[in-house]
């Protein structure tokens, strides 16, 4: 019986994905415990810290199908942590009491933290693949609409013309920064833990550092310089990274929602029969994916805040902040996966109405290019005076419901410097796109493989 939104039979694949659920599942977590215990036994067997036959027997039994999950649940509820329950079952499974050498010199948090890092590695691989796909989709939109003029908006008002490619390239640049951040944080975050009760490895009389080094090599993780049982900045960094990623996805969703408004109608989410329809209003086409991205991204930021709270841990082993991570980290990754999946759908199938974009540019009868006119007049009459003169004419455009071009051409002072043909060029939004195209090209040229 699923109660969480990310595990819901109904909502689960809207707010998350099967791939990410698998990463954070009880089964995968438990398998990670077993992988670590097996790796630890192999390393210590090679080093002669535990008998070779014990290492082989432990490795032989480190299989998920040999673990009784119901028995593990009951013991976890009693003890408070699942690792000891896994170790206890391993000890029982091994012949000739060889299982007594399992978990040699380790502590519960060593196994738990290292398992979490292994899960993070798998989860980040999913995020990386999705970011690459979204980058490719946005790059295609930026390239195809490099020169498609549209309204640039400020405070929800028409500002100056831009291109749709420029808008998409801005989002693309942010996604590329997230891809770079992911590469940068991996070496810091993908570091295992093997340090013993208080982090000093006092539990191993010999070969402690060699065990730690060998274990991390077996698992493909970085070796810690010092124990990080209560130094949780790297886990919080992952949460903040997910908050940044989903924040950008939220920005994409916000713009799509606004551009899908009936009065705007410049883009639409990919069409599927019945998607976004209303139970009472047959004409509606709601921005469904964008709404789900908005909700998921907002909740990821809350989980990122919780992970920052978990940094404030007490002494060498904490009382409570650690458990915050158990709740917040999987939730953040699951919701991020859902937002990424929805964003891939939106970016990959976005319907763009270039004609409506042009119509929206023209709807104010030229007011959207008032800055262009002001700057065009500035060399002749000065910038400040040109501003005030064009400002007054803009008010007349509204009052008289006429075009800016007509009123400019009728103004005697302006006519002394620019004829109607020159003014018409200034009043064409397609002639006032600035360096939109160049900036699109710069972003496209910077894409990572």
> Residue with structure tokens 């982090």?
199
β-strand partners of 267: 352
DSSP-based three-state secondary structure for 153 = strand
Residue 2: what pLDDT? 81
pLDDT tens track for 16-51 = 999 999 999 999 999 999 999 999 999 999 999 999
State yes or no: pLDDT of 250 exceeds 90.
yes
Residue 285: what pLDDT? 82
**What would the two tokens of residue 404 be?**
């800016």
Q: What is the DSSP string of 64-83?
A: GGGS-HHHHHHHHHHHS-SH
The answer to whether the Cα torsion of 403, 406, 409, 413 is positive or negative is: negative
Given 66, 177, 278, 446, the catalytic residue: 278
Alpha helices in 80-107 (DSSP H): 83-93
pLDDT (average), residues 409-426: 92
pLDDT tens track for 222-248 = 999 999 999 999 999 999 999 999 999
pLDDT tens track for 141-189 = 999 999 999 999 999 999 999 999 999 999 999 999 999 999 999 999 9
- pTM for the complete prediction? 0.94
CB 369 within 8 A of CB 160: yes
Looking at mean pLDDT, say which of 156-160, 293-297, 363-367 comes out highest: 293-297
pLDDT (average), residues 187-205: 95
pLDDT (average), residues 374-391: 93
Task: Identify the DSSP state of 4.
Answer: S
Residue 162: what pLDDT? 97
Residue 275: what pLDDT? 65
Active site residue 301: no
Residue 271: what pLDDT? 82
Residue 279: what pLDDT? 62
State yes or no: pLDDT of 197 exceeds 80.
yes
Structural domains in the chain, sorted by start: 118-192+233-358 (1.20.200.10), 359-445 (1.10.40.30)
Mean pLDDT (the chain, rounded): 95
Query: Taking the CB of residue 172, how many other CB atoms lie within 10 A of it?
Result: 28
Picking from 101, 76, 74, 106, the residue whose alpha carbon sits closest to that of residue 90 is: 101
Alpha-carbon distance 278 to 153, whole Å?
29
Residue 192: what pLDDT? 98
Residue 272: what pLDDT? 78
Active site residue 317: yes
Alpha helices in 80-223 (DSSP H): 83-93, 108-144, 164-189, 208-219
Residue 205: what pLDDT? 87
pLDDT (average), residues 129-134: 98
Alpha helices in 275-320 (DSSP H): 288-309
Alpha-carbon distance 94 to 101, whole Å?
10
DSSP-based three-state secondary structure for 200 = coil
- Please report, rounded to a whole number, the percentage of residues in the chain having pLDDT higher than 90: 91
**What would the two tokens of residue 309 be?**
């709270």
Helices and strands (H and E) in the chain: how many = 19, 4
Residue 6 sits at the vertex; the CA angle it makes with 300 and 233, to the nearest 5 degrees, is 35
Residue 105: what pLDDT? 95
Residue 260: what pLDDT? 96
DSSP-based three-state secondary structure for 60 = helix
CB 59 within 8 A of CB 44: no
CB 289 within 8 A of CB 346: yes
Given 60, 143, 317, 402, the catalytic residue: 317
Angle formed by the axes of helices 69-79 and 83-93, to 10°?
A: 130
pLDDT class for 277, splitting at 50, 70, 90? low
């Amino acid at each position: 019986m699923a109660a969480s939104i990310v595990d819901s039979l109904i909502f689960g694949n809207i707010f998350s994905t099967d791939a990410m659920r698998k990463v954070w599942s009880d089964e995968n977590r438990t398998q990670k415990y077993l992988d670590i215990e097996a790796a630890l036994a192999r390393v210590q067997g090679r080093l002669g810290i535990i008998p070779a036959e014990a290492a082989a027997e432990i490795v032989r039994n480190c299989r998920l199908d040999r673990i009784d999950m119901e028995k593990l649940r009951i013991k976890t509820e009693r003890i408070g942590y699942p690792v000891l329950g896994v170790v206890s079952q391993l000890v029982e499974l091994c012949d000739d009491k060889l299982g007594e050498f399992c978990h040699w010199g380790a502590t519960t948090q060593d196994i738990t933290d290292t398992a979490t890092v292994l899960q993070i590695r798998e989860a980040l691989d999913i995020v990386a693949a999705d970011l690459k796909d979204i980058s490719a989709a946005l790059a295609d939109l930026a390239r195809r609409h490099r020169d498609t003029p549209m309204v640039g908006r400020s405070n929800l008002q028409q500002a100056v013309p831009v291109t749709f490619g420029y808008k998409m390239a801005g989002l693309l640049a942010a996604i590329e920064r997230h891809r770079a951040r992911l590469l940068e944080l991996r070496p810091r975050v993908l570091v295992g833990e093997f340090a013993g009760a208080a982090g000093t490895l006092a539990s191993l009389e010999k070969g402690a550092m060699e065990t730690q080094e060998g274990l991390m090599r077996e698992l493909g993780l970085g070796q810690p310089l010092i124990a990080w049982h209560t130094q949780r900045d790297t886990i919080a960094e992952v949460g903040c990274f997910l908050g940044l990623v989903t924040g950008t996805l939220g920005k994409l969703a916000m713009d799509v929602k606004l551009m899908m408004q009936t009065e705007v109608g410049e883009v639409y989410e990919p069409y599927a029969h019945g998607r976004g329809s209303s139970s009472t209003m047959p004409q509606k086409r709601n921005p469904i994916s964008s709404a789900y991205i908005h909700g998921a991204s907002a909740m990821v930021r809350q989980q990122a805040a919780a992970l920052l709270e978990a940094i404030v841990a007490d002494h060498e082993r904490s009382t409570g902040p650690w458990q915050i991570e158990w709740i917040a980290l999987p939730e953040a990754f699951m919701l991020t996966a859902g937002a990424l999946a929805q964003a891939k759908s939106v970016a990959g199938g976005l319907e763009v109405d270039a004609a409506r974009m042009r119509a929206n540019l023209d709807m104010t009868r030229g007011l959207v290019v008032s800055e262009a006119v002001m700057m065009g007049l500035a060399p002749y009459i000065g910038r400040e005076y040109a501003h005030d003169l064009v400002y007054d004419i803009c008010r007349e455009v509204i009052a008289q419901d006429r075009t800016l071009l007509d009123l400019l051409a009728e103004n005697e002072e302006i006519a002394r410097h620019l004829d109607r043909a020159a003014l018409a060029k200034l009043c064409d939004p397609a002639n006032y796109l600035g360096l939109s195209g160049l900036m699109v090209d710069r972003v496209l040229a910077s894409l990572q493989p």
